[in-house]
């Protein structure tokens, strides 16, 4: 049902939002990966990147110019880089400049993961989060979220393409 709600073919449910980030990101962000993440990212994102062994490159909070500079410096590696942002940042309550981040991804390559933990149920016409509100559903590779905020429940999730099936076996 969660995959259907997000108009995605695949969904994986986890015990918490924290473990959703841990499972998805640590599986994808292995020792061969480069991850660009917003400096104000949640601890679960940092923990997942460290657990996976990826090279971590932080860009200044919500600074698309800094993100683009760092992507350009990667050269050909940018095409395989993983960009991770949050829909709404929990500490400051501000939103990611997602349209601009998607523009950078379109031009330079990479994969985009958006953590909608604090924007799921809050933003977008049907509550699917910032990705829906900005209208970039086709440009975001994986959406991660939690049921513990707007739904006052427990559990986490990740939704994406059929290629995400590999996460079902790799994430723990």
Beta strand ranges found along the chain (DSSP E): 10-14, 34-38, 55-59, 82-86, 111-115, 142-146, 156-160
Active-site choice (42, 44, 118, 171): 118
Which tokens sit at 9?
Answer: 């073919």
Torsion sign over Cα 106, 107, 110, 115: negative
Catalytic annotation present for 105 = no
From the candidates 41, 44, 105, 149, give the one annotated as an active-site residue.
Answer: 149
Backbone angles phi, psi at 140, to 5 degrees: -105, 125
Q: Who contacts 32 (Cβ-Cβ below 8 Å, separation ≥6)?
A: 54
Q: Say which DSSP state 88 is in.
A: B
Residue 79 annotated as catalytic: no
Of 90, 105, 119, 150, catalytic: 90
Q: Supply the residues annotated as catalytic.
A: 90, 118, 149
């Amino acid at each position: 049902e969660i995959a259907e709600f997000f108009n995605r073919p695949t969904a994986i449910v986890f015990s918490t939002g924290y473990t959703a980030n841990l499972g998805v990101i640590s599986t994808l962000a292995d020792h061969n990966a480069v991850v660009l993440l917003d400096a104000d990212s949640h601890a679960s994102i940092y923990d997942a990147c460290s657990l996976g062994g990826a090279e971590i490159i932080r860009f200044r909070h919500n600074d698309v110019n800094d993100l683009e500079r760092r992507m350009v410096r990667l050269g050909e590696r940018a095409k395989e880089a993983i960009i991770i942002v949050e829909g709404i940042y929990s500490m400051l309550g501000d939103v990611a400049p997602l349209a601009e981040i998607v523009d950078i991804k379109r031009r330079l390559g990479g994969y985009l993961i958006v953590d909608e933990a604090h924007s799921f149920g809050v933003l977008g016409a049907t509550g699917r989060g910032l990705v829906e509100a900005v209208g970039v559903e086709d440009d975001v590779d994986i959406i991660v979220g939690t049921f513990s905020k707007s739904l006052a429940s427990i559990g986490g999730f990740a939704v994406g393409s059929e290629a995400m099936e590999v996460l079902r076996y790799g994430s723990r």
